[in-house]
Amino acid sequence: MSDLKVGVAGAGVFGGYHAQKAAASASTELTGIFDISDQRGQTAASPFGVPNYTRFEDLLEKSDAIIIAVPAVYHADLAAKALQANKHVLVEKPLALKETEARMLAGMAVSQGLTLQVGHQERFVARAMGMFRIEEPPLLLESIRYSPPSPEGRAGDVSVIWDLMIHDLDLAGCLIEGRFTDVSASGQKLHTDHIDEASAEFEYDRGARAILKASRAAKARERKMRVVYESGEISVDFLSREVINTTPYNITVDISALLPDPLGAADESFFQSCLGRQNSVIPGHGAIMAVAMAEAAEAQALS
């Protein structure tokens, strides 16, 4: 008999991915899928032979843990309801759209002894590359994350800052010491009612900077990162897997053998944390900085 009963909230693409991981894990039993659309929920649940629910409360009753993969505007609300029902929670990024909400959720999880994990899977990628083994603090982090418009209108409920840039905001928060002291940002709406292309620059109390650019209206995909240290710099093109490394640190760009399935690794770590076998690798309190940075950047871009 499976150890952990896991329900998935959200019958979209990512909800389907998470359902696959819960159904395949030796430690879990997929209990069902929630979606406000009965038809969409049935379509997602049918391949797994599990029920679909149109009431979130019904899924909560059947589950020990909940994976939340609904639009970002509902993350905080559903996460709070699940924690209040004494359920472990994995919520896709971002944890919330306000720093105050993120802190509240993280505090709830700690006070109740529950796992609250956030879907910043790219931390697994950075760890496998060796970025987190570098003890020297970065002086500058630059990132570019461009993609063409999604034909399905994915994440059209929020700006590109919360949709794509949030990955690099989280990495900046992990790699750069301290809290940012100033931010400047700009953006423009191109094909949705929210900012589709944005740039943001953060300054930190110890003199470091982060310069981030993101677009979901580009002609082609582009994903690059440059990190500058006193000892040199690391520049990575993630699409071509080209790297320039003038530092004394070893970095692995092709991590396909080390980490063939980042989402699967993240989900399995969540399951094991819920079962008390390990600590969560991306706990709620560790995702607050990304929310704070995104909230500040969006406020500046809209001003």
Residue 152 pLDDT greater than 80, yes or no: no
The mean pLDDT value for 231-238 works out to 98
Whether residues 239 and 157 fall in one domain: yes
Flag whether pLDDT at 167 surpasses 60.
yes
Is residue 245 located within the same domain as residue 278?
no
Domain housing 138: 122-260+291-302
The domain spanning residue 91 has which CATH number? 3.40.50.720
Q: Are residues 13 and 73 in the same domain?
A: yes
The confidence band for 43, taking pLDDT boundaries of 50, 70 and 90, is very high
| Same domain? 266 vs 159 | no
Q: Quick one: 169 and 23 in the same domain?
A: no
pLDDT in tens, 105-146: 999 999 999 999 999 999 999 999 999 999 999 999 999 999
Q: What CATH code is carried by the domain that includes residue 189?
A: 3.30.360.10
Q: Is the pLDDT of residue 190 over 70?
A: yes
pLDDT at 177 over 80: yes
Question: Domain check: are 93 and 180 in the same one?
Answer: no
Report pLDDT digits (tens) over 46-70.
999 999 999 999 999 999 999 999 9
Both 279 and 236 in one domain: the answer is no
Whether residue 2 has pLDDT greater than 80: no
Q: ∠92-252-177 over CA atoms, to 5°?
A: 60
Same domain, 31 and 103: yes
The number of folded domains in the chain is 2
Provide the pLDDT for residue 170. 98
Average of per-residue pLDDT across 214-235? 97
The pLDDT assigned to 251 comes to: 95
Mean pLDDT of 135-164: 91
Quick one: 175 and 237 in the same domain? yes
On whether both 79 and 174 belong to a single domain, the answer is no
Taking the model in full, what pTM does it have? 0.96
Same domain, residue pair 62 and 181 = no
pLDDT at 72: 96
Q: How far apart are CA 239 and CA 41, in angstroms?
A: 34
User: What's the pLDDT band for 250 if we cut at 50, 70, 90?
Assistant: very high
Domain identity same for 214 and 146: yes
